[in-house]
């Protein structure tokens, strides 16, 4: 039997250390090994990916390529500018491939894609080896099985299930040698240009100079060498973050931190790390590396756990899950397993058996259909809500692609159940676009958590846009950094600048005025007034949440599926009404101290209905649409039991 000719397909495992899938490829004793990366049109067109994450990914690709070349000068990462689904069947033939090897991926989209690729491999007589899922501590499907087939909805469930699955695999070493690739001639293969999915559209077009740029240079790239592209080749606008991708970057930093300060690593408690810290931030910032597989979760886990065990033996203090460093990895596994169990509906309320409608109420569940809400959403996204703590966080996110976990809590709570009462799905999309560490399972899961849609339900625990930030950063240094127009505002007013007397505003060189759409007025920098009165809005949210919990609708309820659910929420169905208070969506009016008008500008035109939501739902496999975990709505509160007004 001739020696195997192996295609190793890198995806979200952009590393050489602790890669069981790569080890499986090498265990075949291949005569040639083609390390490839395929330009996935889903990532280019349909997933929301801004320049910062693109740049991070490119850094990871370059790093892997360099490491491959170190192992074998004739090897490097072959970047193929075409999606795997159309390209691989052609490559199998052109390169005489006998085996395709890749790491298992339980992400909803990845499962669908890999299924298609495996089918085409079967037809081509190519053997497929799916390596163990190693971006998590345990295999997500095994965790689900151990959890009785149900999604893991709490950290205790995850821990119990993980225990049943078994010990977390010890990391394996990077390979010491590597076969080179064979002939890389494309032998007349025609590039199949990816198609923008109808109804979904090219979400990232705004970041590219040309729709055609990404695939215009053919499969092998502009110089025909399968090079890692640049942002320019992608037609992408420049990135703004200082965060750089790459396995060697994170391994070096991890070693440095873990050996320099074992105590810190062993006693780490997430809730005690400051969301307001910058340069340096208060946490490791491993998340983007974990997402792209530049850092193995298992390697990270065991490096930390070894230190913890050592200190435990020395009778020194250590922290434990869920607050410890390893606890953070457990949460990640919890979300991966939940996503794996639920599939497509995980990313939405619609058709999701596990999630209540709740914060989707006022937004129609699937789209913002109120001009006021849309305006609030835009102001939240762009960091001009008039709440400096919220605005600083959103501006850091947009600029750097990363914010602290607790900062994510603050802005997510504010947008959903603790401020605007806008659907978590809108916020999740912004994070998806801007985060360098965006991980669908974790992002969706955390948004559901913060909006009290799933995983968490104590909606009366609400973050204040003033008090929470002050707790960490009384002087407001974080705000001064990311909202520079407030940099000279006295400490007394830094979290609530609209309360500053005109004299203080003048001395601080800023005027608190308007809605943030104007940067300055006659050369004087402007910072907006709060877009609503927070305490009033918080009460409205609490009342809405109480009502929503009482009704207890789930995403797979017939009335949700057929769109008639609004009948059950008469207050919300009417939409925002001027001056109405006591129901979610009521437009609040308030006047501030100096008697100026409040936040109401002319409402912008309502945005058109977004096609993405519905088409994503309709794209879900039939099994997912019909299956799922039907839940009894036994409370008998569907008719007329909603709460019209919260007791105050």
**CB neighbours of 309 closer than 8 A, spacing ≥ 6?**
none
Q: Do 301 and 125 meet the contact criterion of CB atoms below 8 Å apart?
A: no
User: Does 471 engage in binding with DNA (CB under 7 A)?
Assistant: yes
- For DNA, the closer CB: 331 or 377: 331
We find the least distance from the C-beta atom of residue 357 to DNA, in angstroms, to be: 12
User: Does 499 engage in binding with DNA (CB under 7 A)?
Assistant: no
Q: Is the dihedral of CA 80, 84, 86, 87 positive or negative?
A: positive
- In 242-324, alpha helices (H): 247-260, 262-267, 287-291, 297-313
Q: How far apart are CA 310 and CA 322, in angstroms?
A: 19
We find the least distance from the C-beta atom of residue 452 to DNA, in angstroms, to be: 8
The pairing of strands 524-527 and 520-521 is: antiparallel
Instruction: Report the site for DNA in 368-407 (rule: CB under 7 A).
Output: 405-406
Applying CB under 7 A, among 369, 549, 573, 598 the residue interacting with DNA is 549
We find the least distance from the C-beta atom of residue 460 to DNA, in angstroms, to be: 5
Concatenate the DSSP letters of all residues of 313-340 into one string. Answer: HTT-----TTTSHHHHHHHHHHHHHHHH
137: three-class secondary structure by DSSP = coil
Applying CB under 7 A, among 552, 555, 584, 586 the residue interacting with DNA is 552
Q: Do 639 and 550 meet the contact criterion of CB atoms below 8 Å apart?
A: no
Q: How far apart are CA 642 and CA 552, in angstroms?
A: 10
Applying CB under 7 A, among 156, 256, 611, 623 the residue interacting with DNA is 156
User: Does 646 engage in binding with DNA (CB under 7 A)?
Assistant: yes
Q: Which stretch binds DNA (CB under 7 A): 153-161, 167-175, 251-259, 569-577?
A: 153-161
Applying CB under 7 A, among 154, 230, 475, 517 the residue interacting with DNA is 154
- In 95-154, alpha helices (H): 108-124, 140-146
Query: 92: which strand partners?
Result: none
- For DNA, the closer CB: 35 or 552: 552
- DSSP annotation of 575 reads -
Query: 263: which strand partners?
Result: none
Q: Do 515 and 531 meet the contact criterion of CB atoms below 8 Å apart?
A: yes
Applying CB under 7 A, among 195, 467, 519, 604 the residue interacting with DNA is 467
Q: Do 281 and 326 meet the contact criterion of CB atoms below 8 Å apart?
A: no
Q: Which stretch binds DNA (CB under 7 A): 3-11, 453-461, 569-577, 602-610?
A: 453-461
Residues present in the chain in total? 648
Q: Which stretch binds DNA (CB under 7 A): 71-79, 92-100, 259-267, 455-463?
A: 455-463
We find the least distance from the C-beta atom of residue 256 to DNA, in angstroms, to be: 24
- For DNA, the closer CB: 92 or 478: 478
User: Does 3 engage in binding with DNA (CB under 7 A)?
Assistant: no
Applying CB under 7 A, among 546, 557, 566, 599 the residue interacting with DNA is 546
We find the least distance from the C-beta atom of residue 549 to DNA, in angstroms, to be: 4
Instruction: Report the site for DNA in 314-333 (rule: CB under 7 A).
Output: 322-323, 327-328, 331
Binding mask 406-445 for DNA (x = CB under 7 A): x--x------------------------------------
- For DNA, the closer CB: 55 or 157: 157
Q: How far apart are CA 119 and CA 124, in angstroms?
A: 9
Q: How far apart are CA 407 and CA 531, in angstroms?
A: 20
Applying CB under 7 A, among 157, 340, 423, 451 the residue interacting with DNA is 157
Q: Which stretch binds DNA (CB under 7 A): 132-140, 171-179, 370-378, 451-459?
A: 451-459
Q: Do 52 and 239 meet the contact criterion of CB atoms below 8 Å apart?
A: yes
Number of residues that bind DNA (CB under 7 A): 35
Binding mask 500-539 for DNA (x = CB under 7 A): ----------------------------------------
Displacement of CA 14 from its chain's centroid (Å) = 18
Applying CB under 7 A, among 316, 461, 626, 633 the residue interacting with DNA is 461
We find the least distance from the C-beta atom of residue 393 to DNA, in angstroms, to be: 13
Nearest to 625 by CA among 236, 211, 343, 356: 343
Applying CB under 7 A, among 128, 155, 399, 573 the residue interacting with DNA is 155
Applying CB under 7 A, among 463, 482, 565, 569 the residue interacting with DNA is 463
Q: How far apart are CA 13 and CA 252, in angstroms?
A: 18
- For DNA, the closer CB: 101 or 415: 415
User: Does 271 engage in binding with DNA (CB under 7 A)?
Assistant: yes
Q: Is 106 left (phi over 0), alpha (psi -120 to 50) or beta?
A: alpha
Q: Is the dihedral of CA 132, 133, 135, 136 positive or negative?
A: negative
Displacement of CA 463 from its chain's centroid (Å) = 21
- For DNA, the closer CB: 110 or 450: 450
User: Does 301 engage in binding with DNA (CB under 7 A)?
Assistant: no
What letters, b where the CB count within 10 A reaches 16 and e where it falls short, cover 452-479? Answer: bbbbeeebeebbbbbebbbebbeebbbb
- For DNA, the closer CB: 64 or 153: 153
Residue the block writes with tokens 């420049």: 238
Binding footprint of DNA on the chain (CB under 7 A): 153-157, 270-271, 322-323, 327-328, 331, 405-406, 409, 449, 456-464, 466-468, 471, 542, 546, 549, 552, 646-647
């Amino acid at each position: 039997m001739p020696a195997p000719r192996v295609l190793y397909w890198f995806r979200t495992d952009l590393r050489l250390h602790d890669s069981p899938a790569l080890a499986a490829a090498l265990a075949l004793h291949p005569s040639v090994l083609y390390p490839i990366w395929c330009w996935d049109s889903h990532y280019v067109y349909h997933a929301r990916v801004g320049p910062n994450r693109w740049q991070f990914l490119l850094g990871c690709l370059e790093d892997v390529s360099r490491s491959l070349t170190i192992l074998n000068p004739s090897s490097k990462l072959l970047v193929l500018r075409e999606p795997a689904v159309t390209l691989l069947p052609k490559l199998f033939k052109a390169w005489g491939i006998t085996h395709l090897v890749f790491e298992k991926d339980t992400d909803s989209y990845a499962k669908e894609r890999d299924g298609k690729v495996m089918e085409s491999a079967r037809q081509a007589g190519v053997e497929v080896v799916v390596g163990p899922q190693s971006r998590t501590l345990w295999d997500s499907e095994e965790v689900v099985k151990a959890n009785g087939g149900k999604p893991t909805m709490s950290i205790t469930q995850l821990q119990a299930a993980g225990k049943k699955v078994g010990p977390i695999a010890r990391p394996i070493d990077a390979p010491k040698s590597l076969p080179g690739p064979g002939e890389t001639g494309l032998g007349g293969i025609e590039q199949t240009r990816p198609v923008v999915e109808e109804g979904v559209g090219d979400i990232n077009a705004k970041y590219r100079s040309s729709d055609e740029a990404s695939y215009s240079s053919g499969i092998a790239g502009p110089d025909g060498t399968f090079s890692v592209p640049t942002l320019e080749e992608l037609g992408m606008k420049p990135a703004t973050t200082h965060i750089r991708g790459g396995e060697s970057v994170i391994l070096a930093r991890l070693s440095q931190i873990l050996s320099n300060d074992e105590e810190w690593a062993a006693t780490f408690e997430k809730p005690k790390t400051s969301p307001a810290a910058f340069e340096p931030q208060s946490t490791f910032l491993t998340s983007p590396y974990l997402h792209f597989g530049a850092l193995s979760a298992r390697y990270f886990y065991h490096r930390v756990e070894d230190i913890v065990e050592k200190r435990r033996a020395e009778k020194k203090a250590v922290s434990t899950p869920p607050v410890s460093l390893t606890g953070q990895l457990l949460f990640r596994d919890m979300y991966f397993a939940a996503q794996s169990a639920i599939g497509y509906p995980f990313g939405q309320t619609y058709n999701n058996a596990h999630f209540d409608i709740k914060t989707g109420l006022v937004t129609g569940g699937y789209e913002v259909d109120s001009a006021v809400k849309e305006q609030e959403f835009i102001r939240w996204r762009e960091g001009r809500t008039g709440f400096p703590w919220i605005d600083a966080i959103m501006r850091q996110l947009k600029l750097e692609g990363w914010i602290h976990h607790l900062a994510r809590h603050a802005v997510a709570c504010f947008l959903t159940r603790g401020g605007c009462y806008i659907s978590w799905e809108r916020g999740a999309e912004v994070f998806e676009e801007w985060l360098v560490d965006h991980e669908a399972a974790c992002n969706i899961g955390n948004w559901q958590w913060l909006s009290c849609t799933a995983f968490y339900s104590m909606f009366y625990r609400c973050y204040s846009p003033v008090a929470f930030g002050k707790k960490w950063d009384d002087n407001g240094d974080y705000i001064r950094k990311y909202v520079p127009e407030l940099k000279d505002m006295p400490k007394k007013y830094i979290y609530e600048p609209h309360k500053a007397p005109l004299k203080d505003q003048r001395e601080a060189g800023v005027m608190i005025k308007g809605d943030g759409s104007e940067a300055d007025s006659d050369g004087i920098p402007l910072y907006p007034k709060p877009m609503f009165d927070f305490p009033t809005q918080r009460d409205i949210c609490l009342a809405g949440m109480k009502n929503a919990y009482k009704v207890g609708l789930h995403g797979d309820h017939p009335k949700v599926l057929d769109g008639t659910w609004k009948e059950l929420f008469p207050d919300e169905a009417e939409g925002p009404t001027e001056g109405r208070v006591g129901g979610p969506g009521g437009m609040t009016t308030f006047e501030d101290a100096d008697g100026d008008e409040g936040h109401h500008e002319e409402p912008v035109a309502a945005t058109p209905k977004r096609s993405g939501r519905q088409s994503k739902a309709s794209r879900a496999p039939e099994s997912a649409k019909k299956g799922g975990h039907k839940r009894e709505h036994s409370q008998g509160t569907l008719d007329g039991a909603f709460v019209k007004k919260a007791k105050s």
